[in-house]
Amino acid sequence: MIRAYLDHNATSPLQPAVRDAMLSAFDVVGNPSSVHKEGRAARALIEAARSKVSDLVGAEAGHVIFTSGASEANMLALGHGMKQEFQPAPASHLFYSAIEHPSVLSGGRFGPSERSEIPVDSSGVVDFSALRVLLTTHDRQTGRAMIAVMAVNSETGVIQPYAEIAALASEHDAYFHLDAVQAAGRIPLDITEIGCTSLSLSAHKLGGPMGVGALVMAKEGLEPEPLITGGPQEHRLRAGTENVAGIVGFGEACALAKDTLSSDDGIKRLMSLRDSFEARLLEMAPDVEIFGGKAPRVGNTCQFAVPGLKGETVLIQLDLAGVAVSSGSACSSGKVAASHVLSAMGYGADLATGAIRMSLGWSSQQADIDQLTTALGKICTKYSRKAS
């Protein structure tokens, strides 16, 4: 059976050019911290990749800190011990939106009494007025506030007003960490123009390897409190011998994403596929709910629910039909339960537990959409007959 893979927000298949770059890197045997020729060769690969990663988000190469993934990058960013101009400038309270990834919802290194949730509206957009109130009531004498918001929601694809949040953070002398995992390669990002303190990235959402990510800082002298200490790697901000081949693959994936954004063709292609799917979805199920459909979204994502259909049932039936989709964040998988994102948006358990997320990427084709819609049509027909 030919399978249609439509779960790129969970992980995007390794791109052929990334695989080739990694295979070449595996032949480089040196430790990048060694001073001999082999070590210098490994170091050169890392620094070339660092430049490619920074270029994707308009940052300086020296401000990129490689990690094991975006979850670690988020944890690294969300700590009290921040430095500005290399001098201690601690944060005392974390404000995060109700729809964040679990790695942010866990609060990083802030205790339960040191963090507060920012509500969202029915479209899943951060309640700007509520955030302003929270920042106004924050006691600055205890330390700065820190805001953590994702640029693009991993379930709905809704784009947050991150530039406006950054301006508000600046007004209140607060730090602002942007989880850019689902935005990178899908919308243009420039860390300087955005005005955030830091942003996190993940290689495998871009068609790169799993187990590699980065925390990107906005300015020189702006540093997080190290999470892993020991050796001098990554400017002494993340100890441990670097994953050379993984980092090389990450860099190549970022370069490919930059090319796609520059041409704009790839972004428009995915949006066209998504829009055609939604049009056909509305024809077969006029009462379908497309979550976040009235808000700005990235062009690769559609999360929906057909009233009366359980998410678990649809997932299993689609999988049997050769279609891979999900019910939401892969980091929350293992059970099909009410999405915390949809619950925060005000949806009841009946719709929230029926949610299905279709997400496109570099390998997606019209045939995948055709296979999905054909299978969905059969499922809708089958279960509507049972209900009657």
The dihedrals phi and psi of 217, each to the nearest 5 degrees, come to: -95, 150
Q: What is the C-alpha to C-alpha distance for residues 290 and 14, in angstroms, rounded to an integer?
A: 29
Of the candidates 28, 171, 181, 161, the residue with the CA atom closest to the CA atom of residue 102: 181
Q: Is 254 a residue of the active site?
A: no
For strands 356-359 and 64-67, give the pairing.
unpaired
Q: What is the C-alpha to C-alpha distance for residues 147 and 116, in angstroms, rounded to an integer?
A: 10
Question: Counting beta carbons within 10 angstroms of the beta carbon of residue 294, is it exposed (0 to 12), middle (13 to 18) or buried (19 or more)?
Answer: exposed
Q: Which of 196, 302, 331, 380 is catalytic?
A: 331
Known catalytic residues are 331
